[in-house]
Amino acid sequence: MTRGSLRWLRRTALTVVPVVVGVVLATFFLLRLVPGGPAAAILGDQATDQAVADLEAELGLDRPLLAQLWSFVVSVVVHGDSGTSLLYGVPTRDLIVDRVGVTLEIVALSVVLTVLLVVPLALLAALHKDRLVDHVVRVVPAVGLAMPTFWVGLLLILVFAVNLGWLPAGGGDQGLRSLVLPAAAVAVSLTPVLVRTLRAQLLEVLDADFVATLTAAGLPRHRVLAHVLRNAALPTVTLFGLNIAYMIGGTLVVERVFAINGLGALMFDSIGSRDFPVVQGVALFCAVLVVLVTVLTDLVVNRLDPRTRVLA
């Protein structure tokens, strides 16, 4: 292990450990926000005080706060679990593992679709800076920011499922085909912002001396562009790392629109049945996933770009 990677490890640990601790604490204290406490919320308005007290005892909510926190932390760290589902009586971890597959597929597919949308558009705008294409590509973000992801999903259903009949409107039973529209909804709502940023980065690269040198040396335009794209690849990776939280959140909501039985369905169903531990588990899982992806992208960028290693 080189000194550089040791330094990276130390720097990463210093930022990641506090975040993970914070995420676990935040998830734990989520229950404290419930007016009257979770037990009363589960049982409803009609519950007697005795019933509430009994349920609190059963769930361990009558113990001292620190004791509760301790067992929560132990459960999370040792078992990777936020407790037992009130509805199903199984560890929340098992429920999440069961449902996460399809969600991750949608996220992955939307990453692919976003790249396919963002890179050409950003390149187009950057190459035609200040001309009509550029203006159009850059005015669209204002529209994109204001489009609710779930509504984009509905529009896609309307056009591609209801009117054209190309793709299924919902359910996950048709394999990849049924995931295209949900992934597209996430991609479309993310694209505008990314185009804006990537365009700015491409312009920076296009401005670099090596581009002028290559052009002056008589390299054909498409080969110069290949160099430009290679240099713009890293910022793109960083961009996706930074936006992974947005993609996961968007996917959970969009699952609802397309009636897909993933993590989002698990979360919203658990909300319906007031299954607190599962909601906590999903939130915790998503946050940890985001932190992991962030660290991974940082690592990739660090590996691929010698400059960040020097500067780190």
Partner 1 sequence: MSADLVAAAAEPPADRPGVVPVEPSGTGETGTGETGGHERVARPAEPTWRRALRTPAFVAGAVITASIVLAAVLAPLLATHDPAAQDLLNGLQGPSSAHWLGTDQLGRDLYSRLLYGARTDLRIAGLAVIVPFVTGVLLGTVAGYVGGRFDWVVARVVDTVVAFPFYVIVVAVVFAVGAGERGIYVALALVGWVTYARVLRNTTAVYRSSPWVVAARGGGLSHGRVVVRHILPNTLTQAVVLLMNDVVFVIVAVVTLSYLGLGVQPPTPDWGTMITDGKAFMATQWWLSVAPGALVVYTGIGLSLLGDGIADVWRAE
Give the interface with partner 1 as residue ranges (CB under 8 A): 15, 18-19, 22-23, 25-26, 30-31, 33-35, 130, 135, 138-139, 141-143, 145-151, 154-155, 157-158, 162, 190, 193, 196-197, 200-201, 203-204, 207, 235, 238-239, 242-243, 245-246, 248-250, 252-253, 256, 267-268, 271, 276, 279-280, 282-283, 286-288, 290-291, 294
Nearer to partner 1, 34 or 300 (CB): 34
Task: State the nearest-atom distance from the C-beta of 210 to partner 1, in Å.
Answer: 16
Nearer to partner 1, 224 or 265 (CB): 265
44 Rama class: left (phi>0) / alpha (psi -120 to 50) / beta: left
Contact call for residues 56 and 62 (beta carbons, < 8 A):
yes
Task: State the nearest-atom distance from the C-beta of 78 to partner 1, in Å.
Answer: 21
Nearer to partner 1, 217 or 310 (CB): 310
Q: What share of the chain is helix, strand, coil (3-state, %, to 5)?
A: 80, 0, 20
229: buried, middle or exposed (CB in 10 Å: 19+, 13-18, 0-12)? middle
Task: State the nearest-atom distance from the C-beta of 114 to partner 1, in Å.
Answer: 12
Nearest by Cα to 280 from 18, 9, 25, 5: 25
Residue type, 204: E
Nearer to partner 1, 162 or 176 (CB): 162
Nearer to partner 1, 219 or 249 (CB): 249
Nearer to partner 1, 127 or 283 (CB): 283
274 Rama class: left (phi>0) / alpha (psi -120 to 50) / beta: left
- Rounded Cα–Cα distance for residues 86 and 90 (Å): 8
- Residue 91 β-bridge partners: 84
3-class SS letters over 214-259: HHHCCCCHHHHHHHHHHHHHHHHHHHHHHHHHHHHHHHHHHHHHCC
Nearer to partner 1, 17 or 90 (CB): 17
- Rounded Cα–Cα distance for residues 268 and 273 (Å): 9
Those residues with Cβ within 8 angstroms of residue 293's Cβ, 6 or more apart along the chain or in another chain: 241, 244
